[in-house]
């Protein structure tokens, strides 16, 4: 119960600080990107996949706030034992996160991060975390930068197929690399590792993306994402992967 109180207090502090920082709206800079990918196949096999991702960034004098939401749905047409065709859902997941970073110096900041993942077919039905820590820019060039995070917090997780949830302390590290190869092409690599001793689980998430610009407001992006857990129930794979080709629009 104490962990839940701490989770609530930290989350409240995060959104309270973000809201407070956002008060001088005329000095803020809000950028939004939206990704959309749809894949339909027909013939011998009918399948459909839908992927969307929205990222909103707000740059203030001292605060940098980032909100992320992504969703994946997949369906496939199968035949039952009598040969009748029917549509079966094969994947249904969504993730949301909010991060507030307060600039301490030119290359370092303190952050608070909250995230929530919900999936119908993964090893964990829900995976909610709140953490805080220190961020710093380890490498910065004209067309390249690398940001590193280290922190701690708490996690509350529900194993797929059960009604019980477990909570644990959490230790987190992450890296974000962005390389602008040329005026048209950009490469992004994100890696996060979260270790939860109370769950006997380490979750690793990697995201790789290459985008090519059509214009200043539209790009085509190829993405590959992995979500790995070291402790999963019997019958579940430890690693889930997502491969996507999306159109990205900047607002």
Q: What percent of the chain has pLDDT over 70?
A: 87
Q: What is the CATH number of the domain that holds 160?
A: 2.40.160.40
Query: What pLDDT is stored for residue 121 in this prediction?
Result: 87
| Region 23-36 average pLDDT | 73
Task: Report whether pLDDT(45) > 70.
Answer: no
What is the reported pLDDT for 180?
95
In b/e form, how buried is each residue of 161-189, taking b as 16+ CB within 10 angstroms?
Answer: eeeeeebbbbbbebebbeeeeeeeebebe
Phi, psi at 197, each rounded to 5°? -60, -35
Backbone angles phi, psi at 43, to 5 degrees: 120, -125
Domain that holds residue 83: 2-250
- The lowest-confidence range among 39-48, 118-127, 200-209 is 39-48
* Banded pLDDT at 38 (limits 50, 70, 90): confident
pLDDT at residue number 226: 94
Supply the pLDDT for residue 42.
67
In total, how many domains does the chain have?
Answer: 1
On the question of pLDDT at 22 being above 80, the answer is no
Question: What is the chain's length?
Answer: 251
DSSP string, 28-80: -EEEEEEEEEEEEE-SSS-EEEEEEEEEEEEE-SSEEEEEEEEEEEEEEEEE-
pLDDT band at 43 (very low <50, low <70, confident <90, very high): low
The pair of three-digit structure tokens given for residue 203, joined into one six-digit string:
């979750």
Tell me the sheet residues that pair with 97: 68, 115
d(CA 196, CA 170): 5
pTM: 0.84
Cα separation, 205 vs 228, in Å, equals: 6
Banded pLDDT at 44 (limits 50, 70, 90):
low
Look at residue 25 and tell me whether its pLDDT is greater than 70.
no
Give me the pLDDT at residue 194, please: 97
Worst-scoring range by mean pLDDT, 77-86, 89-98, 137-146, 167-176? 77-86
Non-local CB neighbours of 9 within 8 Å, separated by 6+ positions: none
């Amino acid at each position: 119960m104490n962990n839940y109180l701490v989770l609530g207090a930290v989350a409240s502090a995060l959104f309270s600080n973000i809201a407070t920082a956002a008060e001088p709206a005329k000095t803020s800079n809000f950028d939004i990107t939206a990704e959309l990918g749809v894949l339909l196949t027909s013939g011998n096999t009918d399948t459909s996949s839908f992927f969307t991702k929205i990222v909103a960034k707000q740059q203030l004098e001292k605060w940098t706030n980032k909100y992320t939401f992504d969703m994946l749905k997949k369906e496939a047409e199968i035949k039952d034992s009598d040969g009748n065709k029917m549509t079966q859902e094969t994947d249904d997941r969504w993730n949301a996160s909010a991060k507030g970073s307060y600039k301490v110096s030119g290359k370092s900041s303190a952050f608070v991060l909250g995230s929530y993942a919900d999936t119908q077919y993964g090893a964990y039905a829900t995976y909610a975390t709140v953490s805080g820590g220190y961020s710093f820019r380890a490498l910065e060039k004209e067309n390249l930068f690398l940001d590193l995070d280290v922190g701690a917090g708490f996690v509350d997780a529900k194993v797929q197929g059960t009604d019980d949830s477990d909570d644990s302390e959490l230790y987190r590290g992450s890296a974000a690399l962005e390389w602008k190869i040329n005026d048209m092409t950009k490469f992004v690599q994100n890696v996060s590792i979260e270790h939860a001793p109370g769950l006997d689980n380490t979750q690793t998430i990697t995201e790789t993306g290459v985008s090519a610009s059509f214009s200043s407001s539209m790009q085509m992006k190829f993405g590959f994402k992995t979500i790995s857990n070291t402790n999963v129930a019997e019958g579940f794979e430890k690693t889930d992967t997502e491969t996507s080709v999306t159109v990205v629009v900047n607002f």
